[in-house]
Amino acid sequence: MSSTTDTAWEAVIGLETHVQLGTNSKIFTNASTAFGDEPNTHIDPIVCGLPGTLPVLNQKVLEYAVKAAMALNLTIAQHSKFDRKQYFYPDLPKNYQISQFDEPIAEEGWIEIEVVEKGQETYLKKIGIERLHMEEDAGKLVHAGSDRLAGSKYSLVDYNRAGVALAEIVSKPDLRTGREAAEYASEIRRIMRYLGVSDGNMQEGSLRCDVNISVRPSSEAPFGTKVEIKNMNSFSAIQKACEYEIGRQIKAYEAGEAVIQETRLWDESKQLTKSMRSKEGSSDYRYFPDPDLGPIEITEKIKENWRNQLPELPSAKRHRFSKELGLSAYDARVLTDELNMAEYFEAAVEAGADAKSASNWITGDLSAYVNSKRLSFSDLCFQPAGLAEMINLINKGKISGKIAKDILPELLLSGASPKKIVEEKGLGMISDPEEITKIIIQLLESYPKEVESFRSGKYKLQGFFVGQLMKQTGGKADPKLANKILAEKLKG
Amino acid sequence: MNQINASDVRKVAGLARLDLPNDQLEEHAIQLEKILAYVEQLEKVDTTNIPPTTRAVEVVNVLREDVVTSTDIRDKLLALAPEREGDFFKVPKILSD
């Protein structure tokens, strides 16, 4: 069934990402942007576009959009404006959407993504970004009155989301695989979260991606017919939808069929894309400048001010963690995924923790705790300085790693000082050679048979003695020292 | 003249979701012709080096603070709609599955 041609098919993928900007009020009016409230509680005459109303741009939206654009290395337009995009669909109360057409707030940028694929070498790739513009979100349709046979008879509309501020980010067609597309989307989300301009919650729709995808028989061939895919609500869905669609298009071409330009929906339960009935004549948007909204001019001074407020971005942090702190690319990536985690790590290193140990504790035990309690690293009462203190106790041989793990739950709950807990409970490591020797001699006396077996060649028994020793000392014997003395005494 | 015919009018009306009866198409074609003729007249003005005007008032950066003022007027707005169901606006079905 599979074809056997040697064609080096290549996919060409571009993403349109809608990011909900996390402002309190909507883009052009004071109505709330709260998610999940009763239907139509956050609407007003401006949202509904009633005659005589005047939309006014939310200054926070402009600030967030410009900061997002800066983080994506885009050039901020000196002069920008809003336009009306006409289309008729009931999720749009005004029959037009206020968007930006030929003068977006920013154009021509790029981000660097780090592509990790199982069994393949990790690589860096620069992905071009065409533009970023501001626009308003649409409402939500609930298809009701469904009677299985005829489908829904009518729709119900909730306009709470209508007028919520969006930044639409359009990539260049620089992506080549589903993995790259998913990584691009997750890097965009990471950047938006670092900036604090969006929570990027895909389940609640604060980050939505549409994929444009085509295939061509070689990397030199002209682009094939492109298909748009919608309805993916996770990064893995983006990857799978791309991979499915690439396979479908190649198969069509190899069977001598055409690929039709259309919009397809990703069906998560069936793991495939299916054709969506096209809205006829919907491509004629007849944009024109919105007469209600004045133009926007961003001065050098405003730009400088906002640029100075940008945090260090994920890719810069990744580079710094691996270059300056000597972490592996993998650790650097895990630690920088969430800003709170990265900041916790940096504070621990600042407080004197060794970077590699801090990374291990944070990505291991601490992450497990944070995830299981659904917390964030910024909520932890066990402070980064406490972690640094604990790591230093281990590295200076004051406590064993095992003791550290034993007291960790208490540290996480109380946020107490590890040093104090170790002192109070007498958990300090026994590192006095004489004391250890004394315990070992007693131990060997109580297991004469095992000692004899060891001496006659059953060297594996050393493990048994180590176990007994740890049991007797409650894990407090300095393992290195104990092993050394034990080996000497066992030899006899 | 005669740049606009009845089928152009039908198309434009369709894009604007206007239900124009066939016997009015010709009349609208004539009126649109007149509007275009007026635009043609305007086009004779030399606008070299004059930036496009999109608004009558030259103001930039009209902005407001990001503040929520609650407006509990759901019922008033729903009352303006042709149909409602519960707290939703009710509209004809859009997609046939």
Q: What domain range is B33 assigned to?
A: 6-43
What is the structure's pLDDT at A433? 84
- Please give the mean pLDDT across all residues of chain A: 90
Nearest Cα residue to A281 out of A86, A92, A102 = A86
Helical axes A300-308 vs A59-71, angle rounded to 10°? 70
Give domain status of residue B93, yes or no: no
A135 with A100: CB under 8 angstroms?
Answer: yes
Of the partner residues A38, A59, A143, the one whose CB lies closest to the CB of residue B87: A38
Least Cα distance to A102 among A72, A127, A79, A86 occurs for: A79
What torsion, rounded to 10 degrees, do the Cα atoms B81, B87, B91, B93 define? 180
The number of beta carbons lying within 10 Å of the beta carbon of residue A326 is 13
Which residues on chain A are in Cβ contact (under 8 Å) with B61?
Answer: 294, 296-297
Phi-psi region of A40 (alpha: psi -120 to 50; beta: other; left: phi over 0): left
Q: What pLDDT band is residue B29 in, cutting at 50, 70 and 90?
A: very high
pLDDT band at A145 (very low <50, low <70, confident <90, very high): low
- Give, to the nearest 10 degrees, the angle between helix A479-491 and helix A461-473: 130
What SS3 class is residue A491? helix
Asked, for residue B36, whether it belongs to a domain, the answer is yes
Place of tokens 């330009």: A261
- CB–CB of A28/A46 below 8 Å? yes
Residues B66, A60: C-beta atoms closer than 8 Å: yes
d(CA A476, CA A404): 11
Structure tokens at A375: 């917390």
For residues A351-358, average pLDDT:
94
CB contact under 8 A, B77 and A61: no
Residue with tokens 């807990």: A421
A chain contacts of residue B62, beta-carbon cutoff 8 Å? 56-57, 293-294
Radius of gyration of chain A, Cα coordinates, nearest whole angstrom: 30
- pLDDT tens digit sequence for A86-109: 988 889 999 999 999 999 999 999
- pLDDT band at residue A2 using 50, 70 and 90 as cut-offs: very low
> Chain B residues contacting A, CB < 8 Å?
14-15, 17, 54-55, 57, 59-74, 77-78, 80, 85-97
Report the C-alpha gap between A340 and A378 in whole angstroms. Answer: 6
φ/ψ region of B17 (left if φ > 0, alpha if ψ in -120 to 50, else beta) reads left
User: Quick one: pLDDT at residue A354?
Assistant: 94
- What pLDDT is stored for residue B78 in this prediction? 95
Query: Could you tell me if residue B28 is inside a domain?
Result: yes
d(CA B18, CA A484): 93
Tokens encoding B93: 């079905």
The bridge status of strand A57-58 relative to strand B63-64 is parallel
Element (H, E) at A15: strand A10-20
How much is the pLDDT for A247? Answer: 96
Split at pLDDT 50, 70, 90, the class of B95 is: low
Identity of the amino acid at A282:
S
Distant-in-sequence, close-in-space partners of A283: CB < 8 Å, separation ≥ 6: none
User: What is the share, in percent, of chain B residues with pLDDT greater than 90?
Assistant: 59
Range(s) within chain A of domains with CATH label 1.10.10.410: 433-490
pLDDT band at A482 (very low <50, low <70, confident <90, very high): confident
pLDDT of residue A279: 52
Which candidate from B54, B68, B94 shows the least CB-CB separation from A30?
A: B68
Tokens of A318: 């990744």
Q: Could you tell me the CATH number of the domain that includes residue B12?
A: 1.10.20
The reply to whether B52 falls in a domain is: no
Residue B17: which residues within 8 A CB-CB, separation 6 or more? Answer: A88, A95
Cα gap A10→A214, rounded to integer Å: 9
User: What 3-state DSSP class applies to A132?
Assistant: strand
Task: Decide which of 3.90.226.10, 1.10.390.10, 2.102.10.10, 1.10.10.410 is the CATH code for A433-490.
Answer: 1.10.10.410
| pLDDT recorded at residue B41 | 94
Please check whether residue B35 lies inside any domain of the structure.
yes
Strands A227-232 and A263-267: parallel
Q: Kindly report the backbone phi and psi dihedral angles of residue A335, in degrees, each rounded to the nearest multiple of 5, phi listed first.
A: -65, -30
Over 70: is that where the pLDDT of A454 sits?
Answer: yes
Q: Return the pLDDT at A486.
A: 87
Q: Provide the token pair at A331.
A: 């650790």
pLDDT score at A283? 62
Average pLDDT for chain B:
87
At B52-87, the pLDDT tens digits run: 877 777 789 999 999 999 777 899 999 999 999 999
Q: Which two tokens stand for residue A404?
A: 């550290």
Token readout for A196 is 């604090």
* pTM, full prediction: 0.85
- Least confident among A76-80, A275-279, A306-310, A330-334: A275-279
Q: Which pLDDT value is given to residue A149?
A: 42
Token couple for A461: 């028994």
Give every CB contact of residue A188 below 8 A, 6+ residues apart in sequence.
Answer: A17, A19, A72, A111, A169, A207
User: What integer pLDDT is reported at residue A167 of this predicted model?
Assistant: 98
Percent of chain A with pLDDT over 70: 96
Cα of A288 to nearest chain B Cα, Å: 9
How far apart are alpha carbons A276 and A228 in whole angstroms?
10
Question: Contacts of residue B77 in chain A, CB cutoff 8 Å?
Answer: 40, 43-45, 48
Alpha-carbon distances, residue B74 vs A31, A41, A89, A93, B84 (angstroms): 12, 6, 21, 14, 11
Task: Confirm whether B57 is domain-assigned.
Answer: no
Indicate the DSSP class of residue A175.
B
Q: Which residue of B12, B19, B64, B65 is the best one to mutate when testing the A interface, meaning the one whose CB has the most A CBs within 10 A?
A: B64
pLDDT value at A150 more than 60: no
pLDDT in tens, A304-332: 999 999 999 999 999 999 999 999 988 99
What per-residue confidence (pLDDT) applies to A148?
47
Whether residue B34 lies inside any domain: the answer is: yes
Instruction: Please count the residue pairs, one from chain A and one from chain B, whose beta carbons lie less than 8 angstroms apart.
Output: 124
Chain B residues within an 8 Å CB radius of A277 = 95-96
| Consecutive H or E run containing A488 | helix A479-491
User: At A28, is the pLDDT very low, low, confident or very high (cuts 50, 70, 90)?
Assistant: very high
pLDDT, tens digit, for every residue of A120-143? 888 999 999 999 999 999 999 887
Closest chain B residue to the Cα of A148, Cα to Cα: B97
- Nearest Cα neighbor of A196 from A63, A105, A27, A342 is A63
DSSP string, A331-398: HHHHHHSSHHHHHHHHHHHHTT--HHHHHHHIIIIIHHHHHHTT--GGG-SS-HHHHHHHHHHHHTTS
Asked if A178 and A39 count as a contact pair (C-beta separation under 8 A), the reply is no
How many folded domains does chain B comprise?
1
pLDDT single digits (tens) A228-251: 999 898 999 999 999 999 999 999
Q: For residue A460, what pLDDT is reported? A: 87
d(CA A151, CA A357): 58
- Report the length, in residues, of chain A: 492
pLDDT value, residue A203: 87
**Residue B78 belongs to some domain of the structure:** no
Q: Indicate whether A437 pLDDT > 80.
A: yes
